[in-house]
């Protein structure tokens, strides 16, 4: 289990930019380390109510994170093409990482194995990683979704602490 104080596991996945169906790039976490804090916001599935609310709230507050030189990434097991359509449909500006082969949710130990008693997805969770690649904040949902209007500013405070 990845916890506060651990080195963040590295990974490489497709990055969905949201500008078009095929707006794809490569992303490797280790290439991003050292350029300011990184927020990895794992969510179960695009096009679902709670996930849309969460990512729209992060998107609405993206400038608060950018002011700290932090980058926020949503991450799910959805294919990047679906993520792009979702981002475009919901006007989400947070870039999305596609863990289509479920490698990252296993590395971070955030596997939710029984969505609809049928599929394995990411458990809703957030990790903040500092410039040294160390996890400085970890939150994993237990029970109901948080109030995202208050939760996202709490994550921003964790990012501010990581940026110091």
**Active-site residues: which are they?**
51
> Which residues, 6 or more positions from 58, have their beta carbon under 8 angstroms from its beta carbon?
39, 41, 65, 72, 74, 94, 152
141 vs 7, 42, 121, CA distance in Å?
A: 21, 10, 13
- Cα distance between residue 147 and residue 144, in whole Å: 9
Residues forming beta bridges with residue 115, ordered by sequence position: 119
């Amino acid at each position: 289990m990845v916890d506060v104080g651990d080195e963040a596991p590295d990974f490489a996945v497709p990055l969905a930019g949201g500008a078009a169906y095929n707006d794809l790039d490569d992303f490797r976490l280790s290439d991003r380390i050292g350029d300011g804090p990184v927020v990895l916001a794992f969510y179960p599935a695009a096009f679902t109510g709670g996930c849309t609310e969460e990512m729209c709230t992060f998107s609405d507050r993206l400038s608060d994170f950018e002011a700290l030189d932090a980058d926020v990434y949503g991450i799910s097991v959805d294919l990047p093409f679906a993520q792009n359509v979702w981002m475009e449909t919901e006007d989400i500006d947070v870039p999305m990482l596609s863990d289509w082969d479920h490698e990252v949710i296993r590395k971070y130990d955030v596997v939710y194995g029984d969505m609809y008693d049928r599929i394995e997805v990411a458990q809703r969770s957030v990790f903040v990683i500092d410039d040294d690649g160390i996890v400085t904040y970890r939150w994993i949902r237990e029970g109901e979704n948080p109030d995202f209007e208050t939760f996202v500013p709490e994550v921003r405070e964790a990012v501010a602490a990581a940026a110091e």
